[in-house]
Each structure stands twice: as structure tokens, then as C-alpha cells.
Structure 1
Amino acid sequence: MGRIRLIFLWFVVVDKSFCATIPLGDEDVHKELCLTKTCIQLTSQLFDNMNLNADPCHDFYEFTCGNFVRTKEIPEHKGLVDGFERVNNLFEQQGKALLEKEQSEGDWEIFKHFRTHYKACMNESAIEEKSLTLIKTKLESLGGWPILKGEDWSDEDFYLEDYLVTAIQEGFRSFSLFEISVEIDEKTNDSHVIKLDQAMFGISREFLAQGRQERTVQAYRKYMNETAQHFGVKSENLDELDKVLDLEIELAGIALSRENRSNPILRYNEFIAEEIPSTIVPSWPQLMQKIFQNETITGEEKVVIKDLDYFRNLESVLEGYSRRNLANFLGWTMIKNLDSYLDSFILDKKQELEAILKGKKSQPLRWKRCVKAVGFNNYDPKSFQIGVGSMHVLEYFPPKAKEIVEDMLRRIRATFSDLIVNSNWMDDATIGEAQAKLDRMDQMIGYPDELLDEEKVTSLYEGLENYGAVGVAIGHEITHGFDNSGRKFDLDGKLRNWWTNDTDKAFDVKKECLVDLYEGFEVKQVGKNVNGRLTLGENIADFGGVRSSHMAFEKYLTENNETQVLPGLPFTPLQLYWIFFGQSWCTVARDEKIRDNLLNDDHSPPQFRINGPLSNYEGFAKDFGCKPSDQMVQETQCRIW
């Protein structure tokens, strides 16, 4: 719902410097025609994107985005282009300006680190000269890469526990066989706990699980060969990479699928360290003590395993591979995790792989890659995303804009409260718990105040001792607090079942309506249907966001007794609200990107993020005068919130 909020703001907060009042006949409301430069530009944009010959009650996506889909060209370095392209480009340009700006007296000290990181990324000559040597040195510190060393490598010196400890001491936080981290304990929400998870894979687990014959897996195998040869591996030794790929495929086969990873119950399995159900290392407490040297780790240390079957089956998988196979696998995954920082040859080969995976035909400009690497437009927690957020807010985000959005969200929270109270499928006890949870939710709009606190932001990047820092709170989108995953956390953010049995069963029935609805949606461009279970949480949030924000806007119109319209558009304010909402999701994508998203993205394709919720909401049908027989009015209405 985060993007819906922004579009909601975009429509309501229009420049009022020049408006003409137009009476609406018998209606006790006034339209104001906005004739500012901004409003004229918005009108032009709407005309450019819309297909005014389409019937909004038949296919609203075609109506609001039809011309965009037919005329918009996808940049060579992207797999898709969407309604957020202009905002993303502006954000990149602003990030570039901030990172290339000289450090001034008033800047936070940590901003210097971000700028240093950016400059290092932009130093292509140093990367060309040194990157391979640096990685080879790292590999050598771990005992060497067998496929590269050939007969000079001996398995007598290879011990998995030592390898893993040395890897983290060398700065590699992500392990190849499994992930280890420290995060908030969902059962208490006021302490931290060590967590173990499945491995990070070189390409999506969902592709690997389909086996060697899958097209993207074959492209990945080719990339492995080309990268290894560039590192100096002899042609006669490349067959050793077959075992590396076999192991990665087997690990993907025992890993939890993407759609099941959204279930917080499946991902919370509590053990003590000495009873972890895997003996791939001699002693888990000893391994953890070596990793977290500033803490005392005993056999009684609480550990949460996010993928229990993975750890139960990990040892049996590894039994089929020699120490040399395992060391080759670990070496390869280290290279793969760092390939974005390597020379132009590797980047070119990686781009060829990306062309198969996501349809990208070229690399982005160097500065764009480096701006993202630092943290702008980057959701990778290993980047400086929170810190550069502070950097951006201080320069570009006016406090007044935050005040306006906070007022919008106050209204939306109130209407969502109405949705809870008026739910006819929830009993009184669960309604009370849900209302208490909504009331307890923190509201962080635009940015949390902590983002302007230098000391708090800087502390996130200081030392391994702060391993417990996890970043920003989950759930700024209200409805996500009550979707299939969020509903399993109570008002204190603790993983706890607060639903009565009858209401719990009623929720399950309602969610199956949504699953069936979305699994019936076909993306005709590639001839594949949406995965209704993978996208369930986002679909629930889309439905709740559409309904609550629209109801809030209706109340805004009533309370203010006036609103604005754009010149040359014969639409009511409420119709314009829907058009702006729809245009935020206008998208053109390459076939490869669509297939990748259908397999790996927990969001539905954009046309169904529009037509799905709107065809199940009577408010949309009322605003456009749609009849029960129209395609944008579902015969069986799905609704949770």
C-alpha cells in the first residue's frame, strides 16, 4: 500500500496557485480547474498513457495504461519500464549529485564513507587492474580454489568449520551452504537471536529446482565456465564445475520454496545450539563462538532455524560430494557473490546471463550501477540503504510534505478501523485484538524521525558487535499487518495466534477466494498464470489498500466541500483518483522479465494489481457506473478487508 499512499497524495495535493471555480449543478460540491504548469503537465501525461477508446468497466488497465503499453520503449539495460520510471530516474540523479558532492562542514561523518564507496566503484582502471587479484588472494586465504590450483590443492587441509570462520573474518557475512545472522526474536520482539537459514543461491532457487535442463540453469552453467576460465582455470579442469552445479541444484531441492517462505510459523523453529539437527560441523556452539567473538555462546544458546527441512537434509546431501567438490562449491559461491565488483569481462558475461534471466540487453551506465551499489534504489540490506535515505531526506524531503502525508494516513487508518469493526466474518474478540493492533502501529511516513538522527544511523554501520541491528520495522503498510503473514503477529509485534478458531477458519476461506481469483489470471504475453499463493500477501494488501484509501478520499471530499480537476479531462475527482492509481502501475516488460517475476516475485503482474482489486470493489463500480454484467465487476466478490 506504500505506493498507493503516494499516488493518493499526488492527486490531492495539487498546486492551488491558479484555479477557476466551476459549479456542479445540484451537487453541493465545487470543482476547481487547476491551470498551473504542473497540472497541465499531469493532464498531458494522462492523455499520453490512456486509451480513451477503451471501456473502463471492461478493462480498466487498458483504459488507463493502454497507450503506455503500446508506445513506451524499454531501456536496453532494463527488463521493464513502469509508471515509476520518472521518479526512479530523478532519485538516481539526486543520489549521483549527493555522492559526487564534496563533503562539507555540516555533513554527517558517515556520508564520507558513502562517497568513498561510490568513488571506489567508479574507479574502473583500479577495478580492471586489481579486482581479480584481490579475489584470488581472498580465495587463497581460505585454502585456495581446487579447480584453480589443480593438483597443488590437498583435501587434507580442508575443514569446513575453519573455512566458514575464516570467511566471516575476511568480511564475508553470507555463507554458501547456509546463512547465519542475528535478528529480532519474533516470539519476544524485545531481544535478538541467532538464526540459521538456507543458502543464498547463484540464481533463483525456483530456477535451480527445475534442474539442469531449465534454460536459465544452462545459461548459468555457461557463465560458470566463462568466469572460471577468466580466473585462470584450465579448460581440462572445467568439468569439475559440474559437481558444483549439481550440489547447488540439490541444495535448492531441499530448500523451502519461495511461496512457503512467507509463512512466519514455518520459519520459526526453536532449538538450543547443541541440539541443532545437523552435524555438518563438529560443534555448532563452538562455530558460533568463533563467529561472534564478543559474546559468550554456550550449548544452551537459543537458535531459530528458518528452514528446518533444509538443515535436516543438508548432511545427507553433502555425503554425496568429496571435500574437493565442497571446496570448489564454496570458492565459486564466493566469486558469484562478488561478481558485481569485478572487471569488465565478468560484468559483460554477467550481463549475458541477465539477458536470459530478465531480458536485459545491456549494462546500465557505470554511475547508475555505483549509485545503486551504495544504496539508492537498492533494497539489499548489505547496502547503505538506511544511511543514504538520511542523506536524501536531509537534502530533498521538505517537512511540510511529511505533514501532508501523515494527515492522509490518519484518514486511511480511520477508514481501515471501520473495515475491521464492520467485518461480518470476525467475532468480537478478534475484532478487539485487531483494533488494538491497528492502534498500536507506529506511523512512519516519508521517513521515521530516526532517519534524521546522526548517532542512530551511524551506529548501524559500526562494528560486528552491533550484529543485532536489523533496520527498519516491518509493516509500514497497514494492511500487511493483517495479511496471511502479518496477522500472525500481535499488537506487540510478537509471533502469537490471537485469532479465535472460528475467525481463523473464516480468514482461510476468504483467502482461498483470492488464491483462486488470481490463479485464474493469465499473462497472455507469455501464456502463464499468476501463482495465487506466492502473491497472496501482496494481493490482500492491494485489496485493503484500495478500499481504505478510497474511503478516506471520499471522506476528504465531503469534509472539504471542494476539490480540483485537471484541464481537458471529463472525469470526476473520484474517477481521476482511480486513473492516477491505475497509471502508477502502467508497465511494459520483456518476456524474460515477466517469466522471472511470475516465478520469483510475490507481487502480482501490474495489470492484475489494478483489475484484481477494482473488479472486486463496489466503490470503483459506483464511480464509473459499471453494471453487474461488466467484466470489471466480479460475479463472486472476494474480500477480506
Structure 2
Amino acid sequence: MYVVERKVIDVHVIGEKKDAIGWLMISYSMPKEDRRNASKLYNKMTIGELQKLVPEIPWLEYINRIISPFFIVKTDEAVIVNVPEYVKNLGKLLTRTPKRVIANYMMWRVTGASVGYLNEDARDIQLAYSKKLIGKETREPRWKECMGTISRSLAHAVGSMYVRKFFKESAKSDAIIMVDYIRTEFENILKNLEWMDPLTRERALEKARAITPHIAYPPELLMNDKLIELYDGLIITKGNLLENMRNLTIFGTDYSFKRLREKVNKKDWRNHGAAAVVNAYYSPLENSIQFPAGILQGTFFEADRPKYMNFGGIGYVIGHEITHGFDDTGRQFNANGDLKDWWEESTKNKFLERAQCIINQYGNYTVPELNITLNGINTQGENIADNGGIKEAYHAYINYTKIEGVEQKLPSLPYTPRQLFWLSAANVWCSKYRPETLKLRIVTGAHSPAQFRVNGPFSNRPEFAKDWNCPVGSKLNPVKRCSVW
């Protein structure tokens, strides 16, 4: 099964700007707000049906050329067309666009993908674009750029090296314990929700209990034979960066196509082997959470420091990822990762009312230095996850202290352990943006800027106001609060 995805095309062909404007397909694209409904993006049909829908493109020939020599498909092969209207308009556009413009566009896409691996003159042009877009005036040192490229392109190999050389095994076992604490807290929240009917509650608990955690790295990452097998056929030659990147692109594409007829294995180690990454993920199709080794250190986590710091750091992130399974998009998938509606209608409506409160709250936040308000709709998934995550992490920490005992204060600081939890959680998102980057994040990003990822969720928690003695009606202890989970 294939996915025919909508792409927003951005091109500037020198000397043909007027003609190339036709490639700015924004008017054909489904708005981001509508794309939050996963059902709208799941349009299953055969290649034959797609051919009738968009006769301007020879779909069967096109697909078979791409996946050759691994497979040959027929017109009865199923495909998922994310946005049929977009593809229909694309077909019409191709017929009325001069072939010269199409050819120039294709070559521009090749050039645009390669410019970072060319000489200084070419990269200076790229830098000028970056300066305009995100305000970046200087490039990273070449070694740092190369390290980033290698980490992305050879993620499993780099992850294996990182784990062997730097990762502390105690971090993995401690993180597993924290996941158990926080998942248990989320289950407790589900059990006590007044707005959820019994049937939906039981399905929600089933989904929460079915979440598979992938912590630090899979065991296979340290098995040389598995890595050799994974990279079998990849050709890397010394002294030719552009050719090597081309080989990596082809290798990765072929790797995906080769798996077309494989039975889906949601626990395949290869899907969770990028260990040297400072990030975390929730997968709705797997109903899994992933915390690579790279995030189990630094600001987020250290095995030998007070637990209020770890629960405020990585604990906040763990709760965030668990809650993604129950945000406005994650809730559309069931415990098995299938796109199925498991909500009773009355409870669904109550969820949407609570989500609307989050939308309104964040949609009324203004970034003063830009005088721009946030998009509460496009950021609602991350905002719901932030609000649920901090609540789960806080109460998980309280439960931890009931079992293990109250922790000591930090020497020379007047703060209580609970206050230090909040400070640790806020410290995770300490950030400084260039104005251009901040504007781009607000206009296109799914995450709210960092300050709102702290002030928004904290202001919705009465526990925060109590721990810090915030006056009623103050900024972080408002009369009206929003709470989904």
C-alpha cells in the first residue's frame, strides 16, 4: 500500500518567476487546521481508481518505475491518497504548465536538495536564504554540519557508537521506572474523570495500558551483525560528499520500497534505533512512546540527581508523549494503532469542549516583540500534551515521595522539593529565539513558543498556585482554567 502525499511546493526559478508561481500550490492544499482530522487524510482507492480521478498522470507507469526492480504492481493495488483534491489540481496544473518550467522546477528540486553538500559559493546562497527565513547570519562549522548529516543519515550506526561510549545503563532502568509511575498516574486520571462515560473510559484505559515504551535503545543496536545486515549494500567512498549523499538517499529509498510486502512489525528494532537523538516521540500507528538515549541526560535527566529534577525534566516529557495518544489527533486511533472511532458521542463532545478551552486560551496569547497571536488550533495537540504531561509528572512525583519519602531541599536554596519540581520543568524549555525564527515557529509550527509551554500549563494547575502561594486572579493563578486530562 502506498501513500500519495500532498506537498507544498516552493520554487523560485530565476528568469521564470512568473511562470513558476503556478507551482505555489498553497491554494490547492488542505489547511493545517483540517489536516488534524486523520480521517480526512485516509482516502483509500486502487491505482485504477486514482487513474480515473487524475487521468493526466500515468500512475501505474510512474509507480512501477519508482519501485523497480523490487516489485511490479497492478491497477488493483491499494493506495492512500491524503488529499484527492490536491492531486486532481496537480494533474490539471501539469497539463497547462510549459514543459520548460516543469523541467526547471525538477532540476531546482535536485539542486535545492544538494546545495548543502556543494562548495562555499553555493552554500553562501543557501545562507542568504536562511538569513531571510530564520535570521541565521553564519553557518555552523563544517565539522558540525557533517556531524549533523551523519547523525541523520547513519542514525543507527551513530546511535550504536554513542551508546557504547557515553550512555549510562542506570539511566535506562531509572527511566523505565519513571514511565511506570507516570503511566499509572495517567490511568488514575482516566479512572476519576467525571466527564467520561464508562465505555469510553474502559477503551481509554485499554489504550493507555497498551502503550509500548521504547527506552534508550534496542538491544540489537549493540549487535554488530545486525548493523552490518542493516547497512548491507550501502556504498560510501572517501572524498566525495555529494556522491555519498546521493548513495545514502538511494539506499534509504530502496530500503523503504523493499519492505512493501513485509508484514508490519510495530516493534521492529530498526524503527527505534536512532539513539543519539535529543527528542521524544509518540507514534499513533504503533501506540508507542520513544525516549532515545540522547534525551536521557543533561537538562532532562541524570540518574544520580534528586527525583524532583528528573520528574520535572524527563517526567514532563514522558507525560507529554503519553498524553499525545489522547490529544485531538492521537485520540482518533485505538489501542492497536488503527484509525477507528472508539468514543461515545456524548464523551467526544465533552472532550471537544475542553479542547476548545485550550484553543481559546493559547489563541489569545500574544508575542509582544512581534505583536502576533498564537494559532490555538494548529498548536492544540502539543498544548494538550503539555498540560496533561505536567499534571501527570507532578502527581507521579508526589506518589513517588509517598513510597520513597520526601526529598531534601537543595543546600543554600529556599525552595521546597515541590517548588524545585516546577523550576526543573520550566528550565527544560528555557530558550532564546531570533525574531525571524520565532515568527516562523508561530506561523508554521505545531509547538507554542517556549515561554507559553511553561506559563500556559502552569497557569492551569492549581497545584502550582498552591506551591508558590500565587494570589487568586494573578497571571499564574487565573479564576478560569482549562483542563482536558
Q: Partners in 1 of 2:348 and 2:90 — Cα distance?
A: 34
The 5 Å alignment of 1:478-557 reads 478-557=322-401
Q: Partners in 1 of 2:412 and 2:424 — Cα distance?
A: 15
Q: CA deviation at 1:200?
A: 5.5
Q: What letter corresponds to residue 336 of structure 2 in structure 1?
A: D
Q: Partner of 2:44: helix, strand, or coil?
A: strand
The 5 Å alignment of 1:213-232 reads 221=12, 225=14
User: 2:142 aligns to what?
Assistant: 366
Q: CA deviation at 1:461?
A: 4.6
Q: What letter corresponds to residue 421 of structure 1 in structure 2?
A: K
Change (3 A) 1:601 1:459: farther
Change (3 A) 1:461 1:241: farther
The 5 Å alignment of 1:485-634 reads 485-634=329-478
The 5 Å alignment of 1:238-637 reads 239-244=15-20, 246-249=21-24, 251-276=25-50, 277-282=53-58, 284-293=59-68, 294-375=70-151, 378=152, 383-454=153-224, 461-462=231-232, 464=254, 466-467=256-257, 468=259, 471-472=271-272, 474=283, 475-476=288-289, 477-637=321-481
Q: Give the TM-score taking structure 2 as reference length.
A: 0.80
Q: Partner of 1:303: helix, strand, or coil?
A: strand
User: 1:48 aligns to what?
Assistant: none
Deviations 1:232-257 (A, max 9, x none): xxxxxxx234322x1221x2321233
Change (3 A) 1:393 1:362: same
The 5 Å alignment of 1:157-172 reads none
Are the equivalent residues in 2 in contact too, given 1:194–1:304 (CA < 8 A)?
yes
User: 1:112 aligns to what?
Assistant: none
Q: What letter corresponds to residue 288 of structure 1 in structure 2?
A: I
Sequence identity percentage: 30
Q: CA deviation at 1:575?
A: 0.1
Are the equivalent residues in 2 in contact too, given 1:202–1:336 (CA < 8 A)?
no
Q: Partner of 1:563: helix, strand, or coil?
A: coil
Deviations 1:452-479 (A, max 9, x none): 4555555555552542388347141211
Q: CA deviation at 1:259?
A: 3.9
Deviations 1:100-131 (A, max 9, x none): xxxxxxxxxxxxxxxxxxxxxxxxxxxxxxxx
User: 2:6 aligns to what?
Assistant: 198
The runs of at least 4 aligned residues of structure 1 exceeding 6 Å deviation read none
Larger Rg computed on CA atoms: 1
Q: CA deviation at 1:345?
A: 0.8
Are the equivalent residues in 2 in contact too, given 1:258–1:600 (CA < 8 A)?
no
Change (3 A) 1:457 1:494: farther
Alpha-carbon RMSD across the aligned residues, in angstroms, is 2.0
Q: Give the TM-score taking structure 1 as reference length.
A: 0.61
Q: Partner of 1:392: helix, strand, or coil?
A: helix
Q: CA deviation at 1:397?
A: 1.3
Q: What letter corresponds to residue 141 of structure 2 in structure 1?
A: L
User: 2:297 aligns to what?
Assistant: none
User: 1:156 aligns to what?
Assistant: none
Q: What letter corresponds to residue 575 of structure 1 in structure 2?
A: Q
Q: How many aligned residue pairs are there?
A: 408
Q: Partners in 1 of 2:341 and 2:230 — Cα distance?
A: 32
Q: What letter corresponds to residue 469 of structure 2 in structure 1?
A: G
Q: What letter corresponds to residue 271 of structure 1 in structure 2?
A: M
Q: Partner of 1:589: helix, strand, or coil?
A: coil
Point out the more displaced range, 308-317 or 412-421. Answer: 308-317
Q: Partners in 2 of 1:274 and 1:459 — Cα distance?
A: 37
Q: Partners in 2 of 1:308 and 1:426 — Cα distance?
A: 35
Q: Partners in 1 of 2:204 and 2:221 — Cα distance?
A: 29
Q: What letter corresponds to residue 427 of structure 1 in structure 2?
A: D
Q: What letter corresponds to residue 201 of structure 1 in structure 2?
A: I
Q: Partners in 2 of 1:548 and 1:626 — Cα distance?
A: 21
Q: Partners in 1 of 2:172 and 2:219 — Cα distance?
A: 11
Q: Partner of 2:331: helix, strand, or coil?
A: helix
Unmatched 5+ stretches in structure 2: 233-250, 261-269, 273-281, 290-320
Are the equivalent residues in 1 in contact too, given 2:56–2:95 (CA < 8 A)?
no
Q: Partners in 2 of 1:480 and 1:610 — Cα distance?
A: 17
The 5 Å alignment of 1:123-142 reads none
Are the equivalent residues in 2 in contact too, given 1:268–1:305 (CA < 8 A)?
yes
Deviations 1:212-270 (A, max 9, x none): xxxxxxxxx4xx54xxxxxxxxxxxxx234322x1221x23212334443432222110
Q: Partners in 1 of 2:75 and 2:328 — Cα distance?
A: 35
Q: What letter corresponds to residue 440 of structure 1 in structure 2?
A: A
Q: Partners in 2 of 1:424 and 1:387 — Cα distance?
A: 48
Q: Partners in 2 of 1:299 and 1:546 — Cα distance?
A: 49
Q: Partners in 1 of 2:157 and 2:38 — Cα distance?
A: 28
